[in-house]
Amino acid sequence: MTDIVGIDLGTTNSLIGIMDSGFPIILADKEGLRLTPSVVHYPASGEPVVGRTAARMRVIAPERTIFSVKRLMGRRPGETDKDTFPFSVAEAQGKVSISVGEKSTTPEEVSSLILRKLKTNAEQGLGRSVDRAVITVPAYFNDLQRQATKRAGEMAGFAVERIINEPTAAALAYGLDRLKDRSKIAVYDLGGGTFDISILELNEGVFRVLSTNGNTRLGGDDIDRELVRLLEERITARHPEIRNDLKTAALLAQLRELAHDAKLRLSEEPAVQIDIPFLPGNRRFGYLLARRELEALARPIIRRTRSHCLRSMDDAKLSPHDLDEVILVGGVTRMPLVRQFVAEIFQRLPNTSQNPDEAVAVGATIQAGILSGDIQSIVLLDVTPLSLGIETFGGLMNVIIPRNSTIPCKAGEMFTNAVANQKSMWIKVLQGERELAKDNWELGSFEIEFARVPKGVARVGVQFEIDANGILHVLARDTSTGRERVLDLTSAVDVSDETVEKMIAESLDHAFDDMAERVWTETAIKSNELLPAVKSALTLVGDQLTDRNREEIERLVSAVTEALESKDIQKLKAANAALDEGTQHLATLLIDRAMAEAEKRRAQRPPPTGSR
């Protein structure tokens, strides 16, 4: 089978889906549940346990139960203060390691166990193996964090076909790719432990992230914690004598589960009955919890999302009425209070048509369907891995489509001939991040012909277009004759990650030298234009100069020639500038002569005959 699964690898919960007869379906595990808690428990002996069973161990064996590992995969830029975890986390040379008992593991490995569990669940449900996946990551994840996620997928036995942004996936799930072009969308994602707000813009079927903001320590867990505290207060108010007994792990686990269930039900019902039949000393506790009480606890937590929303709109230079749609993602957005709050911030009712805790997984699955050809409308959410351009005079790289441009895309530029009487141009298509053409990869080349013209007169437009299938079409057109040549290249987008990494590392290593070389080449081109121009001017109008002026110009000319040989960039720049300055008068004489010639030609031109 060639089908591809879509995976939401969440901080709190993870999900896996697949396209079935054109519809995205989220797959359930053996117990019929579609959310798998992103928790891994390492028992003292035996294999790690993943998912719901592991989640129950959080309170009982906190030092052996790893949760929120996604936070260790990647921090938001600027967030430096450490999370506190009940398990042991160490960081050395930017690499995070987690120790459980005598074992040491990494965030990637832990994530891979979660992914493997999803894979097993899916395979059991489908009765066949699934080996290819699309995995989502937060929009703010950088290259390294995306690579780490990809590696986790590979360790779990997946070929990771694509890593896509969570807000983009959510927008796909809400069907917003069908909105009109240039639509702006706010994606409000409040999960278990993280809050993310993203502003997207739809551009020819592709979502572009205009801004992201958020907080990796803000979410439903905070509400649970407050609710557990409230229940403890109520219990001790009624049974003050068991105050200390409440702190046992088993009872805390029970309280946390009760609080969590009550919170979920209060999103639907105005009040819920909470019962604890067996408290220490054979006491029992019953309490009718009203939604109002929960909301009073939750309000200050939810209010903290406000400043992030305002900042994201500021960064995107938008105000609420510029938005075409606001969508809700993350389990917590099922709370009526959150919906009301979002409506106030964005001054519009949020779109609640999708299940908020499944939207990201559904979007990943739709993307998987697009990749495997199950969905015909092509919305590729890919970017160019490396810059694309052509070689220009002097062996320089002239970038036409920069690295990380969203595909599909189109860009072009006009070029001219560097040499007089040139009658063709050789278009060399290059890929890479280096300043000099020779250090980049040549994808292909072709020649475009034009009429013989003086230097700088030809006008050749070169256009690069990457279509939705990732194929690069290079078009060159001579504007005077309309003659054009086309070259189609398939290899421009499918570049292995290792090669991309290597190219980028090299471009950084050589950035300084490359730049120096580029500046030298450009300055030398200028000298090589100046020298013959001055020489021909001297033969034409040199006799009109004073001897001193003539000698001075000759001295400046040899200074440029010397500087060219010396390879000293500062010297060459100064010599060019001096020659430019010192030949001002010569240039004026040349213009006067050209004007006199033109006048003469006009006088000699025969009048219209009118006899035809």
The answer to whether 568 is a known catalytic residue is no
Which H/E stretch holds residue 302?
helix 291-303
Which of 48, 220 has the CB closer to ligand ADP? 220
Choices 23-31, 145-153, 192-200, 244-252; region in contact with ligand ADP by CB under 6 A? 192-200
From 308, 304, 253, 248, select the one nearest 280 (Cα to Cα): 248
The answer to whether 70 is a known catalytic residue is yes
Which partner, ligand ADP, Mg ion, none, binds residue 264 by CB below 5 to 8 Å per kind?
A: ligand ADP
Which residue from 13, 431, 440, 583 is in contact with ligand ADP, where contact means CB under 6 A?
13
Which of 166, 374 has the CB closer to Mg ion? 166
d(CA 386, CA 403): 4
Number of residues forming the site for ligand ADP (CB under 6 A): 21
Which of 272, 466 has the CB closer to ligand ADP? 272
By the 8 A CB rule, do 462 and 386 touch? no
By the 8 A CB rule, do 201 and 341 touch? no
Per-residue binding string, ligand ADP, 261-280, x by CB under 6 A, is: --xx--x-------------
Choices 74-82, 124-132, 257-265, 315-323; region in contact with ligand ADP by CB under 6 A? 257-265
Residue 359 C-beta: closest distance to ligand ADP, Å: 9
Which residue from 194, 213, 372, 523 is in contact with ligand ADP, where contact means CB under 6 A?
194
Per-residue binding string, Mg ion, 156-195, x by CB under 5 A, is: -----------------------------------x----
What length does the chain have? Answer: 612
Helices 569-582 and 584-604, packing angle to 10 deg: 50
β-bridge pairing 159-165 and 132-137: parallel
From 301, 454, 381, 410, select the one nearest 137 (Cα to Cα): 381
17 binds ligand ADP (CB under 6 A): no
- Specify the residue for token string 């200390």: 244
Which residue from 332, 362, 437, 575 is in contact with ligand ADP, where contact means CB under 6 A?
332
Residue 69 C-beta: closest distance to Mg ion, Å: 14
Residue 394: count other Cβ atoms within 10 Å of its Cβ: 17
Which partner, ligand ADP, Mg ion, none, binds residue 405 by CB below 5 to 8 Å per kind?
A: none
Farthest CA pair distance, the chain:
126
Residue 330 C-beta: closest distance to Mg ion, Å: 5
Which partner, Mg ion, ligand ADP, none, binds residue 214 by CB below 5 to 8 Å per kind?
A: none
For residue 574, the SS3 value is: helix
From 166, 177, 226, 435, active-site residue = 166
**C-beta pairs of 74-80 under 8 Å, 24+ apart in sequence:** 74/137, 74/138, 74/140, 74/141, 74/142, 74/144, 74/145, 74/148, 75/216, 76/140, 76/214, 76/215, 76/216, 77/140, 77/142, 79/216
334 binds ligand ADP (CB under 6 A): yes
**DSSP strand E in 280-324: where?**
283-290
Residue 231 C-beta: closest distance to ligand ADP, Å: 15
Choices 4-12, 128-136, 409-417, 437-445; region in contact with ligand ADP by CB under 6 A? 4-12
Residue type, 111: S
Number of residues forming the site for Mg ion (CB under 5 A): 2
Scanning residues 32 to 91, which ones bind Mg ion (CB under 5 A)? none
136 binds ligand ADP (CB under 6 A): no
214 binds ligand ADP (CB under 6 A): no
Residue 189 C-beta: closest distance to ligand ADP, Å: 7
31 vs 28, 34, 57, 130, 394, CA distance in Å? 7, 9, 18, 20, 67
Choices 85-93, 246-254, 324-332, 545-553; region in contact with ligand ADP by CB under 6 A? 324-332
Which of 332, 437 has the CB closer to ligand ADP? 332
From 219, 215, 164, select the one nearest 191 (Cα to Cα): 219
Scanning residues 188 to 207, which ones bind Mg ion (CB under 5 A)? 191
The answer to whether 428 is a known catalytic residue is no
Q: Tell me phi and psi for residue 57, to 5 degrees.
A: -80, -10
From 29, 108, 109, 189, active-site residue = 189
Residue type, 513: D
The answer to whether 573 is a known catalytic residue is no
Sheet with 49-50: list strands edge to edge: 49-50, 40-41, 65-66
Cβ contacts of 54 within 8 Å, gap of 6 or more: 37, 39, 40, 41, 48, 65
Which of 353, 469 has the CB closer to Mg ion? 353
Which of 39, 427 has the CB closer to ligand ADP? 39
Secondary structure letter of residue 410 according to DSSP: E
**C-beta pairs of 76-82 under 8 Å, 24+ apart in sequence:** 76/140, 76/214, 76/215, 76/216, 77/140, 77/142, 79/216
11 binds ligand ADP (CB under 6 A): yes
Which of 298, 371 has the CB closer to ligand ADP? 298
Which residue from 6, 10, 24, 107 is in contact with Mg ion, where contact means CB under 5 A?
10
Q: Which residues are catalytic?
A: 8, 70, 166, 189
Positions in the binding site for ligand ADP (CB under 6 A): 10-13, 191-194, 219-221, 260, 263-264, 267, 330-332, 334-335, 357
Positions in the binding site for Mg ion (CB under 5 A): 10, 191
